[in-house]
Amino acid sequence: MEFQYKPTRLLVLYASQTGNALDAAERVGREAERGGCPSVEVFSMDAFDASCLPGERLVIFVVSTTGQGDNPDAMKIFWKFLLQRNLGHQWLENLHYAVFGLGDSGYQKFNFAAKKLDRRLLDLGAKPIIGRGLGDDQHPSGYEGALDPWLLSLWNTISKFDSTILPRIPDIFDLSRRTLDHAKYQITYHSSHESQTVVPSFEDLNDTEKIVEKARTMSPLGQHGYGDNKPHCFLRMVTNECLTKDAPDRDVRHLEFEFASTGMEYQVGDVLEILPSQNPKAVDAFIKRCKLDPDCYIIVYSKSTNKESVESHLKPSANSIKLRTFVDLTMDVASASPRRYFFEVMSFYATADHEKERLHYFASPEGRDDLYQYNQKERRTVLEVLEDFSSVQMPFEWLVQLVPPLKTRAFSISSSPLAHPNQVHITVSVVSWTTPYKRKRHGLCSTWLAGLHPPDSREIYIPAWIHHGSLPPPPPSLPLVLIGPGTGCAPFRAFVEQRVIQNQTGPTAPIIFFFGCRSRETDFLYESFWLSQAQNSGVLSAETGGGFFVAFSRDQPRKIYVQHKMKEESNRIWSLLSSGAAVYLAGSSMKMPADVTSVLEEIVAEQSGASEESAARWLKMQERAGKFHIESWS
């Protein structure tokens, strides 16, 4: 193929898992257009033919990191192509590029996907126009805390690199020159008597499945191809048990679900994603505030859809969906905070001067920190923001584009399918916190699940998806060192249950498990289960070569954590590691994974007589060999 250079084109390629990188990439595109760039194109990485990269002169990459340093699903084809060995060190010698990553420094492999991409582009001969930017969810302003200065540097550098790409760079930063962009989505409306859609009944499983799939497919994330729009299964809750006792600040639930239909399979180590239900009062309040007709039927489609598809949408059809149902299933109106662009668009619709002025300030770089204090730090919701700016009346097209999408919530599965056929269990910490202004906040999904009470809730069908997690199912012959403080014990309940069943039909390798909680009396999660397996030849008993070690951090003056218990059992841990055991670690993403990894390095060094550097390298080798797995969450 002969490549044709496009000297004035700016290409933006993004890889997003939940939509944040898409949001950042679209901002890059908007600002380039304001700067007069003659041609700006924004593509998902896997929608772009990677073999055409040598024909580009300047590409901006915006990449999220997901899981434990993994590439987003939307980057996997693109990345696989870049890793081909036949691509030489000069393959991209004519390409200039910049990389911005979105990540969370609470995770050990912070922005790993962006760093890997940057290194590979360099290896292929591409030239960075500026250093990579690394957005951090832990920053007081989120990823925009790094994106703002990075973009400022990017535009100034590009203007010096080639002024034809950005002939009007001052327009990017001059708020007074900004005009309202066009909404990316169009909506056709049909009255209820026009629509051929049957009024849905959420008590009917088939109806529910069709409605959820239709709404999710029509949503912006669905139209951009994120995730499966069709749920893998529907669940009915059969057990809701509180595992904590006399702990007013801690509520952990053991939840059991039945599959509403047969044939659903999963493995230990898998992850269950649940689409939460929103508070009906909040949905109704949002619709009323926005002066929408909840009973009309709508079709939502991207303006980039081809003409024939658009024309087919202009007629009432079975593809339409009730507006209220669409909002309820796709738009997070009462738990997620809007992004900064939401405030910028609002400023064009504000009719009160003082509100317009404040919104302009919030949308400016100078107002970023104050916006963070008002918005993200308080976790102000879309509904609250709209109520605070009462003169704003935004068209529904803009709301569909800018209201944060209603996302699924992921939970480690805490049951073995061998022990509980046709059921799946999860361990859920009910999230609540107090904002700086002393407002009580509650996690959307965990609070909703905790409020479902079987048998009354048995006829509520819960949309769910099952995916492989970061903890692959171990074979019965593999010795295991499990470390799971707090709700990190959830996947290991499944591992132990599975090993119990496997032990009935043949020999199994030993398991030692390190668990940690605050107090024996308040949050010793699954106490009777662990203790039953730690005695009478259970799979965690000393008789079978196993062990169960628990750290109660607050039951004595000096705090004791799982790391301390691990140090006490250094000989046993090293004995298992020497015999080929795998280490599995699950729990909070903050300090715990790094602290536990550090202790493992100390144990390996002390027991083997190697240096700490050698021990660290050995653990890295174990990870590459599939013998060290981490699953963490914030």
Beta bridge partners of 441: 433
Q: 150 among the known binding-site residues?
A: no
Predicted confidence band of residue 223 (pLDDT cuts 50, 70, 90): confident
Identify the H or E element spanning 446.
helix 444-450
Q: 68 among the known binding-site residues?
A: no
The residue type found at 623 is E
- 3 state SS of 60: strand
Sign of the four-CA dihedral 105, 109, 112, 113? negative
- By the 8 A CB rule, do 59 and 29 touch? no
Predicted confidence band of residue 310 (pLDDT cuts 50, 70, 90): very low
Supply the pLDDT for residue 196.
45
Q: 18 among the known binding-site residues?
A: yes
pLDDT digits (tens, 9 = 90+) for 445-465: 999 999 999 988 878 999 999
Mean pLDDT check: name the lowest of 290-294, 312-316, 549-553: 312-316
Supply the pLDDT for residue 228.
82
d(CA 136, CA 519): 33
Beta pairing, strands 297-302 & 440-442: unpaired
d(CA 216, CA 228): 9
Q: 21 among the known binding-site residues?
A: yes
- By the 8 A CB rule, do 453 and 261 touch? no
Sign of the four-CA dihedral 445, 447, 448, 450? positive
The residues, any chain, with a CB within 8 Å of residue 39's CB and separated by 6 or more, are 6, 8, 9, 10
Predicted confidence band of residue 306 (pLDDT cuts 50, 70, 90): very low
What mean pLDDT do residues 221-228 have?
A: 77
Buried b (16+ CB within 10 A) or exposed e, 453-474: ebeeeeebbbbbbbeebbbeeb
Range with top average pLDDT, 134-148, 217-231, 603-617: 603-617
Q: 137 among the known binding-site residues?
A: yes
Mean pLDDT check: name the lowest of 98-102, 145-149, 538-542, 575-579: 145-149
Mean pLDDT check: name the lowest of 19-33, 296-310, 400-414: 296-310
Q: 46 among the known binding-site residues?
A: no
pLDDT digits (tens, 9 = 90+) for 330-371: 999 999 999 889 999 999 999 999 999 999 999 988 898 899
pLDDT value at 199 more than 70: no
Closest CA to 623 of 85, 17, 108, 71: 108
Supply the pLDDT for residue 365.
81
Beta bridge partners of 96: 58, 127
Q: What stretches of 83-239 show up as alpha helix (H) in DSSP? A: 112-123, 144-161, 170-173, 205-218, 220-223
- By the 8 A CB rule, do 343 and 224 touch? no
Closest CA to 161 of 13, 26, 8: 8
Q: 444 among the known binding-site residues?
A: yes
The residues, any chain, with a CB within 8 Å of residue 298's CB and separated by 6 or more, are 187, 188, 189, 190, 320, 321, 322, 323, 326
Supply the pLDDT for residue 229.
86
Beta pairing, strands 185-190 & 9-15: unpaired
d(CA 185, CA 543): 64
Supply the pLDDT for residue 5.
46
Length of the chain: 634
d(CA 555, CA 204): 50
Q: 272 among the known binding-site residues?
A: no
What mean pLDDT do residues 202-206 have?
A: 69
What mean pLDDT do residues 256-278 have?
A: 94
Q: 487 among the known binding-site residues?
A: yes
Q: How many Cα atoms sit within 13 Å of 46 on the Cβ side?
A: 15
Q: 520 among the known binding-site residues?
A: no
Tokens of 542: 């000393």
Share of the chain above pLDDT 70, in %: 94
pLDDT digits (tens, 9 = 90+) for 465-500: 999 989 999 999 999 999 999 999 999 999 999 999
Q: 449 among the known binding-site residues?
A: no
Supply the pLDDT for residue 202.
47
Which conformational region is residue 545 in: left (phi greater than 0), alpha (psi within -120 to 50 degrees), or beta? left
Q: 67 among the known binding-site residues?
A: yes
Q: 457 among the known binding-site residues?
A: no
Tokens of 312: 């087919």
What mean pLDDT do residues 390-416 have?
A: 96
Residue 25 burial class via C-beta count within 10 angstroms: exposed 0-12, middle 13-18, buried 19 and up:
buried
Predicted confidence band of residue 192 (pLDDT cuts 50, 70, 90): low
Q: 410 among the known binding-site residues?
A: yes
Tokens of 377: 């730090």
Tokens of 624: 């590459």
Supply the pLDDT for residue 463.
95
pLDDT value at 23 more than 50: yes
Q: What stretches of 190-322 show up as alpha helix (H) in DSSP? A: 205-218, 220-223, 280-289, 307-313
C-alpha distances (whole Å) from 425 to each of 233, 239, 326, 404 are 14, 9, 29, 28
Q: 88 among the known binding-site residues?
A: no
The residues, any chain, with a CB within 8 Å of residue 522's CB and separated by 6 or more, are 244, 245, 246, 247, 250
pLDDT digits (tens, 9 = 90+) for 112-165: 999 999 999 999 999 999 999 999 988 877 888 899 999 999 999 998 888 888
Q: 560 among the known binding-site residues?
A: yes
Mean pLDDT of the chain: 90
| pTM for the full predicted model | 0.90
pLDDT value at 201 more than 80: no
Please state the three-class secondary structure of 344-370 as a single string. HHHHHHCCCHHHHHHHHHHHCHHHHHH
Tokens of 473: 């199912």
d(CA 141, CA 147): 10
Q: 19 among the known binding-site residues?
A: yes
The residues, any chain, with a CB within 8 Å of residue 163's CB and separated by 6 or more, are none
Q: 447 among the known binding-site residues?
A: no
Q: 446 among the known binding-site residues?
A: yes
- By the 8 A CB rule, do 140 and 372 touch? yes
Share of the chain above pLDDT 90, in %: 72
Q: 412 among the known binding-site residues?
A: yes
Q: 482 among the known binding-site residues?
A: no
Q: 562 among the known binding-site residues?
A: yes
d(CA 423, CA 276): 19
- By the 8 A CB rule, do 593 and 108 touch? yes
Q: Which domains does the chain have, with CATH numbers?
A: 9-177 (3.40.50.360), 340-402 (1.20.990.10), 480-633 (3.40.50.80)
pLDDT value at 200 more than 70: no
- By the 8 A CB rule, do 440 and 434 touch? yes
Closest CA to 425 of 632, 531, 271, 245: 271
Tokens of 33: 């257009």
Supply the pLDDT for residue 305.
59
Q: 17 among the known binding-site residues?
A: yes
pLDDT digits (tens, 9 = 90+) for 37-83: 988 999 999 889 999 999 999 999 999 998 777 888 889 899 999 99
Q: How many CB atoms lie within 10 A of CB 535?
A: 12
Tokens of 88: 């030489």
